[in-house]
Structure 1
């Protein structure tokens, strides 16, 4: 941002322009910055070198991922199951403007709500970084808080299509329950963290369409590979399908 202001003095006070230009040019700027530092023999970490180089053009996609004690699925996979694990939220600092002519934007934290559509595993050669591609609800017209303090979202009002990705480590899992009084809205509920563990047999059986953890740094949360789990172990169950009883004797 300092570089942009210095090289564009006429635009230095236009926060909206600076933010958009920063998003557009940061990757190129970082690569050049690291190249100059290497040429000047400045100390640069290996991680930063590979980050500046960028990931390969081949992206592995998966249907599920486990991180921070939560199991995440893509929306397409959720459609085939009775459980819901595709809802996510993230608190991010964003620039808020009242209109296109607003010259005094305000920066503040907002909570965004979305649904995972794809799970990507970005390959930086020396390490990998998992990211979630999501459909995000429009915060202006698609999110509200009712008289009981519950947050509701409207999935017919989507936005932020130019910025769909978040790091898997940034995601917080949420669960959406359709409002019985107004089906257009869904109530947002938080899900408790769960400690998933898998046997070697489970890992071998489900590795073909699950993502395996490749830590970037040692401080990242431990992640386990997974694919499917017994629905009886999952706390959040959808209520839009007919249930059935299980005879314990017959299953013994």
Structure 2
């Protein structure tokens, strides 16, 4: 109930801007900050819905601004402002090749009045030159820092792991039984 009351009063008039922000294991930078660097941290992807019922689409873009709204009671909300690539035009905006690689045209943007996304909904992507489509960029998704693909383990592997850890612990600490 307190959260609802806080949100109903609206944000305070002060907004904090950032050039970089770490969330969900990703380190994001705004596009202007990335321009002089060899690394790229402004690529963003967000899963969204289309007008078609139940259809999910990935929206790709470049992060242009990071804003933190402050609410009474100490609540904070981080928003990413993005320039979204045109993902609706399958010939001039976005392409998928026979290997399921997605390419975007960095010259074509969505004309939208919804440039903001909640920071916790964002994932990071990198854009590399697409040599088979001149002027296009290939989108590369990746896992956040310090995370790994969870491999399916059966129960026996898990039990063997716990057994070997327990045996090692008892060898190094004989008093543990």
User: TM (normalized to structure 2)?
Assistant: 0.75
CA apart distance, 1:59:
1.5
Match of 1:74 in 2: 30
CA apart distance, 1:184:
1.7
Q: Is the 8 A contact 1:131 1:166 kept in 2?
A: yes
Q: Structure 2 matches for 1:115-154, cutoff 5 A?
A: 115-126=62-73, 127-141=75-89, 142-154=93-105
CA apart distance, 1:107:
5.0
Paired with 1:143 and 1:193, the residues of 2 have a C-alpha distance of 24
Mark the CA change 1:72 to 1:117 in structure 2 (over 3 Å): closer, same or farther.
same
Paired with 1:183 and 1:47, the residues of 2 have a C-alpha distance of 50
Unpaired runs of at least 5, structure 1: 1-44, 97-105, 196-252
Match of 2:172 in 1: none
**What CA RMSD, in Å, does the superposition of the two structures yield over aligned residues?**
1.4
CA apart distance, 1:192:
2.5
CA apart distance, 1:181:
3.1
Structure with the higher helix share, 1 or 2: 1
1:180 corresponds to which of 114, 131, 138: 131
Q: Is the 8 A contact 1:135 1:161 kept in 2?
A: no
Paired with 2:111 and 2:79, the residues of 1 have a C-alpha distance of 16
CA apart distance, 1:57:
2.6
Structure with the higher strand share, 1 or 2: 2
Q: Is the 8 A contact 1:56 1:124 kept in 2?
A: yes
Structure 2 residue matching 1:82: 3-state secondary structure:
coil
Q: Structure 2 matches for 1:85-100, cutoff 5 A?
A: 85-96=41-52
Paired with 2:20 and 2:138, the residues of 1 have a C-alpha distance of 24
For 1:37-78, what per-residue CA distance to the aligned partner results, in whole angstroms no more than 9, with x for missing partners? Answer: xxxxxxxx1111111221123211110000111100000011
CA apart distance, 1:125:
2.4
Match of 2:56 in 1: 109
Q: Is the 8 A contact 1:92 1:109 kept in 2?
A: yes
Unpaired runs of at least 5, structure 2: 147-177
User: TM (normalized to structure 1)?
Assistant: 0.54
Structure 1 residue matching 2:4: 3-state secondary structure:
helix
Q: Structure 2 matches for 1:213-224, cutoff 5 A?
A: none
Query: Size of the alignment, in residue pairs?
Result: 142
